[in-house]
Amino acid sequence: MVFQTEFEFNLPRGYVDEEGTLHKKGVMRLATAADEILPMKDARVQSNPAYLTVILLSRVVIRLGTVQGVNTKIIENLFASDLAYLQEFYRRINENGSGKLNITCPKCEHKFELAGEYQGE
């Protein structure tokens, strides 16, 4: 079995770059300890703890459409719904270790795994 470290996602609205191109599909990698610790030293986080999310996502989102090298400016310019989506996606892949959901049928209580892209609530 291969350990998956990168997960594809599809933003609800999408990032619009400076040329007006819409980017919705992306890839997020699993976070490392450094991804969560190093941003705490950043002055922007020390003056505004909410900025931690921006730095953290800029470290783990490795591709967004044709945009390579996602940075804090790109994350700052996401629509609020896309930022919320990425926060939930981050939580899901880093806490569960996969983009898969464990589902139990409410009628027969059969358990199964739903694979694929996370679509949100």
Residue with the two structure tokens 């739903």: 114
- Residue 54 in domain: yes
- Residue 121 in domain: no
Structure confidence by residue, pLDDT tens digits, 45-95: 999 999 999 999 999 999 999 997 899 999 999 999 999 999 999 999 999
- Residue 22 in domain: yes
- Residue 42 in domain: yes
Q: 35 with 60: CB under 8 angstroms?
A: yes
Is the pLDDT confidence value at 106 over 90? no
Strands lying side by side in the sheet with 6-16: 6-16, 22-29, 61-64, 67-68
Q: Quote the tokens at residue 31.
A: 């976070």
Q: What is the pLDDT of residue 51?
A: 96
Q: Could you tell me the residue range of the domain that residue 60 belongs to?
A: 6-114
- Residue 1 in domain: no
Q: What is the pLDDT of residue 80?
A: 97
pTM of the model: 0.77
Q: How many domains does the chain have?
A: 1
